[in-house]
Structure 1
Amino acid sequence: MRTPLGWLQLRHDPGRFLVALAGIAFADLLMFMQLGFQAALYDSNTRLDRSFRADVVLISPKALNLQNLSTFPRRRLLQALDVPGVSEAQGLYIRTVTWRNPQTLRSATVQVLGFNPDADVLRLPEVRAQADLLKLPDTVLFDRGARGQYKEAIARIDRGERVTSEIERRTITVGGLFRLGASFGADATLMASDQTFLRMFPRVSAGSVSVGLLTLAPGASSEGVVEALRRHLPNDVKVLSQADFVQFEENYWRVASPVGFIFGLGTAMAFAVGVVIVVLVLSNDVNAHLAEYATFKAMGFRNRFLLLVVVEQALILAALGFIPGALMPLWLYAVAAQATSLPIAMTLERAVVVFVLTLAMCLASGAIATRRLQAADPAELF
């Protein structure tokens, strides 16, 4: 059997070995956290989009994302019903505003949705079950997954007590709760009827909506209806399938927003840190055993054999360093999710991605560390 030279050399100096494992684990931890925050950015800002019960979505061409929407004429919804395959059309009013936290009385950013409570426009059973509450004047539903100090206020609402707040100098009553969660754009979401929404924001025209939700008839082709709507409707409205609408929101945070770029850059920097650490460890190991490697070359062993020894070391470091690097984020994800109310959790896909990056990081480091060894002359080494 082949002697495991790579493993024996790593084990020969336990201190250096542990330092290398700690460095790889730290780099993996940084990559896990950056990728976790990046995924939370996309997931938190698209889960409201995913909750819309629609096959086709209409928005203004000027819209940037769900927190920066423009409006389009409501009559476009009626025109959309003329297209074969469209069975229902509903409009949403959406606005991001500052409200008064009913518990701390401090200002906080919330997103308010206004819609017809008799229409089934959201894939949120708790909202649908409390549709009658929304018909009461100036009554809203509050997101129990909100970010901020709302624990006491939520407990009072659960007990059936009357909880009030203020939006645009108008007093509103929080009549019930549902769960959606905070995002990078808003601390919470409020659900209101379209009539309550228009009373809260009197400068908003009832004839202009933020989002149009179209439901297709059974058997209708989504792609065909989307193309027909684009030909039928004027250019003051943008037609997207439900999947394209979610992708539209994600693309904003991925490309147009600097936040997505920062998390991507952080992952690249963590990878670079790992490469530097492993290169230093392997280079020191190569230098410490240069005489032994020279002996192998003098005996006729080729550079490929020596390279495989260093590659073996790199693979061992990648595998053993990944284990603590993957375990530590489990706790940190839980802490971050609790503190921010964002959907941060470990996924198998992310673990595979980081493991592949770890392998690439260690193999690249091994290739760099063996450059001097491959160019060296055995006679000079002695």
Structure 2
Amino acid sequence: MIINISLAWLQLARQKARFLVASTGIAFIAVLMFVQVGFQDALYTSATQLHNNLKGDLFIISTQYQSLTFNQSFPRRYLYQILGCEGIESVSPLYMQFAKLKNLINGIKFPIYVLGFEPERAILKLPIIQQNQSLLQLPKIVLFDSKSRSQFGPITQEFEQGKTVIIEIFNYTSSIGYKVKVGGLFSLGPSFGVDGNLIVSTSTFFQIFQGRSAKNVDIGLINLKPNANTQKVLAILSAQLPKDVIVLTRQDFINLEKNYWTNRAPIGFVFQLMVIMVFVVGVVVVYQILYSNIASHLAEYATLKAMGFKNKYLLIMVFQQALILAFFGYIPGFAISIGLYDVAGDFTNLPISMSLDKAGIVLFFVILMCLASGLISTKKLRNVDPADFF
């Protein structure tokens, strides 16, 4: 049986105002979906930016590790114990901790994430850091993340204007600040747990955090020789190292971070819950639209039944209307969301942007939402009796 889709289209387009309102409602639901999916993706992308930019083939972390925003260190000596292991070319320690940075204008102190490493060893892939790495060998010189949020003051602007920028950093356990000079900028970006970043040498790091010991490392970076078998080295290290640390590949390290934000952090649960709620609300909204359309054309459907058309024909026509509404709502929702992503990215400095993956996911859910609504709304249509009208 061939179904003429033009009949479904004509029935929707006959009442232009209602069709416009229906499309607008679905567009609004699509925008809400795009916002939720966009921020959820930004959560994972921003949380793993450092992981993606670390120069290493394998990574050692404490078994107590939860995420980058928690301090969980292990003895530095473990790194030197594995230097003689087959396939390992070099190891590097990375120290991380939150400090407070004093705003240049209003004097308010805001949390900032401090990364400390030995400046003679390049541990970050960012080219600008490698260019300015020699500056870190000078005392009291730091690199500031130009994508840090605005609460830290006009540090980036003043540096780019050629001014000497002196900032004051405070350890959480001390009221005495430590003044350093901004020697360069880099671009990493904030996340949901971090508002800004500083890169310092290990000597400067331990001047800021005088309670920290160089004997305890937060992340150990392992660089392998060119022809080394990654899985073989991973197995050897896992067997040799004490049970209070684990060795991970980059992808496993990234997955561990994502798992924390998905399953253990409240924000991950909230995003998943909101996506489900938006979908359910969308089903209800589209159901009301389709049900209202069916109710207003019930006599026409009864006439078609009296003419011999089966329920299958009428139900398929309703599903066709659901698909038409899905696409006419999705297209403006997609266009609006591109603009919202730009605004949100500029305001939050989070990596939120449109992609084929997001466009495909939301399109799938919009179509599924409309088809589910169509299925629910056809109950009245299946039960319609032409004898009630004639």
Same-fold call, TM cutoff 0.5: yes
Q: Match of 1:122, SS?
A: coil
The number of residue pairs the alignment matches comes to 382
Structure 1 position 363 matched with structure 2 position 343: no
Q: Equivalent residue for 1:269?
A: 277
2:150 counterpart SS class = coil
Aligned CA distance change for structure 1 residues 138 and 270 (closer, same or farther; 3 Å): same
Whether the 8 Å contact between 1:102 and 1:163 is mirrored in structure 2 is: no
Deviation at 1:192, TM superposition (A): 0.3
Question: C-alpha offsets along residues 144-173 of structure 1, whole Å, 9 cap, x if unaligned?
Answer: 011114563212212332212222321122
Pairs within 5 Å for 1:340-351: 340-351=348-359
Q: Which residue of 1 aligns with 2:296?
A: 288
Aligned twin of 1:14: 16
Map of 1:250 onto structure 2? 258
Question: Match of 2:168, SS?
Answer: strand
- Of 149, 152, 155, 1:153 maps to 155
Q: How far off is 1:141 after superposition? A: 0.4
Indicate which of 56, 63, 66 corresponds to 1:64.
66
CA RMSD of aligned residues (A): 1.4
Question: What does 1:1-382 correspond to in 2, within 5 Å?
Answer: 2=4, 4-149=6-151, 152-168=154-170, 169-382=177-390
Distance 1:3 1:89 in 2: 65
Q: Which SS does the other structure have where 1:120 is aligned? A: coil
Secondary structure of 1:54 counterpart: coil
State the distance in 2 between where 1:331 and 1:108 align: 30
TM-score of the superposition, structure 1-length normalised? 0.97
> Aligned with 1:7: secondary structure?
helix
Give a deviation string over 1:121-148, Cα, whole Å, max 9, x none: 1001111111121111121100001111
Separation in structure 2 between the aligned mates of residue 80 and residue 375 of structure 1, nearest angstrom: 74
Q: Distance in 2 between matches of 1:94 and 1:102?
A: 23
* Alpha-carbon distance between aligned partners in 2 of 1:320 and 1:112, rounded to the nearest angstrom: 48
- Structure 1: which amino acid aligns with 2:93? G
The AA in structure 2 aligned to 1:121 is I
Q: Distance in 1 between matches of 2:56 and 2:24?
A: 49
- In the aligned structure 1, how far is the partner of 2:328 from the partner of 2:34? 16
Cα distance in structure 2, aligned partners of 1:112 and 1:24: 45
- Residue segments in structure 1 that go unaligned for 5+ positions in a row: none
Contact 1:41 1:184 survives alignment (8 Å):
yes
User: Does structure 1 retain, via aligned residues, the 8 Å contact 2:115–2:199?
Assistant: yes
Q: What secondary structure, in the 3-state scheme, does the structure 2 residue paired with 1:269 have?
A: helix
Residues 243-291 of structure 1 deviation map (CA, whole Å, 9 limit, x = unaligned): 1111111111111111011112111222122211111111111111111
Q: Distance in 1 between matches of 2:61 and 2:341?
A: 34
Q: Which amino acid aligns with 1:131?
A: Q
Q: Which amino acid aligns with 1:357?
A: F
1: distance between equivalents of 2:103 and 2:221? 30
Distance in 1 separating the partners of 2:257 and 2:61: 12
**Deviation for aligned residue 1:103:** 4.0
Q: 1:3: Cα distance to partner?
A: 6.4
Structure 1 window deviating more from structure 2 (24-33 vs 197-206): it is 197-206
**Secondary structure in 2 matching 1:4:** helix
Is contact 1:62–1:69 with CA below 8 Å preserved after alignment? no
Contact 2:102-2:152 at 8 Å conserved across structures: no
Relative distance call for 1:341 and 1:3 in structure 2 (3 A) is: closer
Q: Deviations over 1:5-57 (max 9, x none)?
A: 11111011112111110110000000000111111111111101111000000
| Distance in structure 2 (CA, Å) of the matches to 1:9 and 1:159 | 63
The answer to whether the 8 Å contact 1:303/1:374 transfers is: yes
Distance 1:352 1:49 in 2: 27
Structure 2: runs of 5 or more not aligned: 171-176
- Percent identity between matched residues is 43
Q: Which residue of 1 aligns with 2:174?
A: none
- Give the letter for the 2:245 counterpart: V
SS of residue matched to 1:300: coil
Q: Which residue in 1 is equivalent to 2:173?
A: none
**For residues 199-240 of structure 1, what are the alpha-carbon distances to aligned partners after superposition, in whole Å with 9 as ceiling and x for unaligned?**
111111111110000001112121221111110100121111
Structure 1 Cα separation of the partners of residues 367 and 5 of structure 2? 22
